[in-house]
Structure formats: C-alpha cells, structure tokens
C-alpha cells in the first residue's frame, strides 16, 4: 500500500499532460535546461575570476619581496 504501481504513475503522467499540454511541458524543460547551463557558466566564471585574483596576488607578493634597486 505504501508504494505506487506502474498504473498509478501512468495515471499521474496522463493527468499532468492533460492539464499542462505537451507544448507547455517541453517549454518548461527547455527553460530548466537554460537555467542549468547559466548556473554552470556562472560557476565557471567565478572559478576563473578566483584563479585570476590568485595570480594577481601572487605577482604582487613577488614584487614586494624583490629588493629595491638603489641608484648610485
């Protein structure tokens, strides 16, 4: 009684398709795919910015550690 059979799932899918229609469901899935792609791109951009910032910090530390040249 706790689990649903295949017939229950087919009935649920049929009701969902009847309520929303095939076109609306495919539009929703397309929008979801675009959202996931944007999310992954945002994560990659953040990662690239963090690595760029780390490289800049390393360069500034290297410059600070170099002895100053004295003109004389």
Global pTM reads 0.44
Give pLDDT tens digits for 11-67. Answer: 998 998 888 887 887 888 889 999 999 999 988 887 777 777 777 777 777 666 766
Of 43, 67, 47, give the one whose Cα is nearest residue 55: 47
């Amino acid at each position: 009684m706790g689990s649903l059979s295949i017939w229950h799932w087919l009935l649920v899918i049929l009701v969902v398709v009847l309520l929303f229609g095939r076109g609306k469901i495919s539009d929703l899935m397309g929008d979801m795919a675009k959202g996931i792609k944007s999310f992954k791109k945002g994560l990659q951009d953040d990662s690239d910015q963090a690595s760029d910032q780390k490289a800049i910090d390393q360069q500034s530390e290297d410059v600070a550690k170099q002895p100053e040249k004295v003109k004389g």
